[in-house]
Structure 1
């Protein structure tokens, strides 16, 4: 099960966070700071899977953005690693060439990024990976906004 999903820039600023289990706000900030410090301090040659306290961290870097997912021991690390890439591909499909400008796209379209993430993950479980199905509700909202 996914415990949390973070998107962080190279400066260590959280751009998006979603928690799938209750963690108090003050503990979230401590957790995020520690997780970010741990992931940003690693070199590109090191593994993207980290044992951290009572869970695992899976992360990927895209341009100036790190996507970090905290999971429990029962979750498949490779499946989550591929999920992160699938998420970025969906963003790229919707926003067109998002990877090079990913931080700006997220900052100015945070609501749409949340919708995409919510379509893919429900209560900490990956429920959808089909890109067309993930984007369908967002495209409907876009059509309604145009008319």
Structure 2
């Protein structure tokens, strides 16, 4: 099971977190600070798995971001590396070569994509095409809602003139 997902920039800024196990807010901040210190200081040629508090933290660096997932000690690290890569490929497909700014300004989309891939810390959808189709459907619903809200506000504006 994946206990949490954290995306950290090279400067140590947290760009996205998703918690699948209960952690108090104070504990979350402590976990982020502790893991940032461990992962950011590791050399690029070292293994992408860190043993931490009886768990394993699997991470991978893409451009300026570290994608980190905490798993149980007996879970498969290679599978989690593939899940991270799968998530990055879908982000790339959606944003067209995803960068840190895409995640900062469209964090809600990144959360939605992550929620389509993982549910309750388990892999839900492994098909990139299915995830892309679901994201397109969600975007379509959002656009329809925006158009309806715009037309309603226009009608209200005309009625109050």
> TM-score with structure 1 length normalisation?
0.94
Q: Deviations over 1:53-94 (max 9, x none)?
A: 110010000111111110012321000011101100000001
Q: Which residue does the alignment assign to 2:112?
A: 115
Alignment of 1:30-69 (within 5 A): 30-69=30-69
Instruction: Tell me the distance in 1 between the aligned counterparts of 2:85 and 2:119.
Output: 18
Cα RMSD of the aligned pairs, angstroms, is 1.0
Q: How many residues align?
A: 144
Q: Which residue does the alignment assign to 2:151?
A: none
Q: Which residue does the alignment assign to 1:9?
A: 9
Q: Determine helix, strand or coil for the equivalent of 1:37.
A: helix
Q: 2:125 aligns with which of 125, 128, 131?
A: 128
Instruction: Tell me the distance in 1 between the aligned counterparts of 2:107 and 2:4.
Output: 17
Give the structure with higher Rg (CA): 2
> TM-score with structure 2 length normalisation?
0.86
Q: Which residue does the alignment assign to 1:141?
A: 138
- Structure 1 runs, 4 residues or longer, greater than 4 Å off: none
Instruction: Tell me the distance in 2 between the aligned counterparts of 1:121 and 1:145.
Output: 22
Q: Which residue does the alignment assign to 2:102?
A: 105
Q: Residue 51 of structure 1: CA displacement?
A: 0.7
Instruction: Tell me the distance in 2 between the aligned counterparts of 1:67 and 1:97.
Output: 16
Q: Residue 142 of structure 1: CA displacement?
A: 1.8
